[in-house]
A and B are shown apart, each in its own frame.
Chain A
Amino acid sequence: MNNQEFEAIVRQYEKLVFTVCYQLVHDYGEAQNLTQETFLSAYRHVDSCQKGEYKPWLIRIASNKAKDFLKSAYHRKVDTVEDWEALPMQPGGSAEQEIMTREGARLVMEAVLELEEPYHKVAKLYFLEERSVDEIAEILGRPRKTVETQVYRARQKLQKMLMERGISV
C-alpha cells in the first residue's frame, strides 16, 4: 500500500476513529491526539490487516490507544505506580493469607462470588482456585496484562467489600 492509498483510508475512517476515541476518553483534545496515534500505528502495521477489514481493525487500535490513556489517567488519580507494582501478584500472598487465616474465609468467598464481570471469573480463578495469572489468561483468553490489571482491581473491590462488612484487611 502506498501513501496515497493510506491517505484515502485516513480520510474514510477519521470520523470513526475520532468517535471511538472520544466515546472512550470524553476529551476532544485527547481524542484528537489518540486519533492521530491510531493512524500512525495503523500505518506501521497496515500489512497485517486484510483489505476490507479496516473498520474493526481501526476500532481495535483506537480502543487500545484509549485504554493506555485511561489507564495512565486512572493510575494518576487512584494510586501511585509504586503501590501498583508493590502489590503481590501471586495467590497466597501475605494479604490473602492473612485474610484466609483470620475470620473471614467464608465471607471472602462470598465476596468473590458477588463480584461482577469482568472481575468475577478472574477473581474466582485467582483467589479461590489459586490459579496463576498466566493460567487465567489462557483459560479466559484474555491478555496477561489485562488479567493482572483485573486481579489488582478485583482485590481492591474485595478489600472495600470486606471492610464494609466489618472485616479488617
Chain B
Amino acid sequence: MKLFNEEGHITDEGFEALVKENLDEMGRLEVSEHLDFCDQCVARYSELLTADIMLEAPAEIVPVVVGKIRQRNRNIFLNRFMKVSVAAGLAIVIWVGGFYRIGILKPLGEHPGKAASAARSVSDTLWNWSSGLDKLLSGFSSFLNTPPTEDTGDHDTKQ
C-alpha cells in the first residue's frame, strides 16, 4: 500500500487504512507527523471523519477536562495571590523601615506631628492594600471563567 503520493501527501488508500484502523504503527506515526504540518491533509481527514464513524469514549471526557481546567485555574490564582501577598508585605516592611531610616519617624516626644502623619500613611496604605485584596478575591470567580492567554510553558504544537 502506498501511504504517501509523490507530492508527499497522504493517499486516499492511506486515509482509508487509517479510518478503517488497518495501519501499522510506523504508518500511523508517519501519518501523525504529516498531519502535524499539512493543512491540506488535515482538511481531507476532517471531511472523512463523519458522524457515522465516530467512536464513543470509554469514559466521560467532559467532567475530567473541566475538573482539570478548574484545578489549573485555582493553582494559577493561588500562585498569583501568594506573589501579590508577599510583594505587598515586603513593600510595607520596606516602606515603614525606610521612614525610620531617613528619620521621618521619630519617637513621639521628638516629632509627634510627623509621627502621627506617618502612622496615618501606614494605616491608609494597609487599608488600600486590604481593599485591593478584597477586589482580587471578588474577581476570583470571574477569573475562573476566563481562559488565560499566556502559555504556561508546557510542550505544545502550532495550534
Contact = CB atoms under 8 A, between A and B. Distances in A.
A118 B26 CA distance: 12
Nearest to A60: B42
A32 interface: yes
**Which of the four size classes fits the interface of chain B?**
35 or more
Of A19, A25, A68, A117, chain B has the most CB atoms within 10 Å of the CB of A117
A128 interface: no
A10 B66 contact: yes
B104 to A, nearest CB: 48
Interface string B46-65: 10010001111111011011
Interface residues of A, number: 63
Contacts, number: 168
Contacts of A32: 57-59, 61
B32 interface: yes
A164 B133 CA distance: 73
A16 to B, nearest CB: 6
A116 interface: yes
A15 B68 contact: no
A114 B137 CA distance: 66
B61 A39 contact: yes
Interface in B16-37: 18-19, 21, 25-26, 28-37
Closest 4 pairs between A and B when the two form their complex, measured CB to CB: A117-B4, A67-B32, A64-B157, A63-B35
Interface of B: 2-8, 18-19, 21, 25-26, 28-37, 39, 42-43, 45-46, 49, 53-59, 61-62, 64-66, 68-70, 72, 144-149, 151-152, 154-159
Given A15-B56, A64-B35, 20 more contacts: A2-B147, A6-B147, A18-B54, A18-B56, A19-B49, A20-B45, A22-B55, A23-B21, A32-B59, A40-B65, A59-B42, A59-B49, A60-B35, A116-B2, A117-B3, A117-B6, A118-B33, A141-B37, A142-B37, A143-B36
